[in-house]
Amino acid sequence: MIASDRCPPAILRHVLMTSVVLVSAACTQPAAPDATACVAPACVDLPLARFRADELASVGANGWDDAATVVVRDRDAWQATWNKMHERLAGPRPPMPAVDFSSEMIVVIALGARSTSGFGVTITGASESDGVITIDALSTGPGPGCVTAQVITYPIDLVRLPRRSSAVFFRVGAGVTSCR
């Protein structure tokens, strides 16, 4: 079972729309970290590794109709997440990338269904301080004057990072794509 299956979708949608998503495995939230920049030694930046060379992980047809965040620390959760990511894919699923869960974990953020193209989400950084991992992300939408396709999209991003047992806090900033 993944975190999005345990948390009521209406709660997740509300929290994401206010630009802060707080979800951990049991749908309990760690205390919000200080909004200031990460300063060593109390705070450590964590390296991110993308599954693809470009920043855009996927905007295709994943299975999250509502906003969700997922923290994956084992192969069973990775299999469930991979299946959910490709739930609406026509044809065979691509092979699931191998992940060494003894040293890595995966974080996923999905915005849920959007009524047009032009929406996206990108995980921009990760840090750890006082027993809390903070995942920074930017959610973007089309600005005035943007031409968008009338198609349902499902913006999502995922990254690998060094395995930690700490609680995870998602801090999502909102942005608008300028098309002028």
| Strand order across the 120-129 sheet | 20-21, 167-177, 132-142, 120-129, 43-45
Least confident piece of the model among 28-32, 34-38, 164-168: 28-32
Q: Which of 32, 91, 65, 64 is nearest to 158 (CA)?
A: 64
Answer whether residue 158 is part of any domain.
yes
- Domain interval for residue 164: 3-26+40-173
Answer whether residue 140 is part of any domain.
yes
Answer whether residue 34 is part of any domain.
no
Alpha-carbon span 62 to 110, nearest angstrom: 9
Answer whether residue 112 is part of any domain.
yes
Question: What mean pLDDT value characterizes the chain?
Answer: 80
The gap between the terminal CA atoms of the chain, to the nearest Å, is 43
Alpha-carbon span 96 to 77, nearest angstrom: 12
Answer whether residue 33 is part of any domain.
no
Q: Is the pLDDT of residue 59 over 70?
A: no
Give, in order, the Cα–Cα distances in Å from 83 to each of 52, 168, 178. Answer: 18, 22, 34
Domain count, the chain: 1
Average pLDDT over residues 8-21: 35
* Tokens 């996923």, located at residue: 108
Average pLDDT over residues 127-151: 93
Answer whether residue 35 is part of any domain.
no
Contact in structure between 73 and 163 (CB atoms under 8 Å): yes
Question: Which tens digits make up the pLDDT trace of 67-116?
Answer: 999 999 999 999 999 999 988 888 888 889 999 999 999 999 999 999 99
Answer whether residue 180 is part of any domain.
no
Give me the pLDDT at residue 27, please.
34
Answer whether residue 68 is part of any domain.
yes
Alpha-carbon span 147 to 179, nearest angstrom: 8
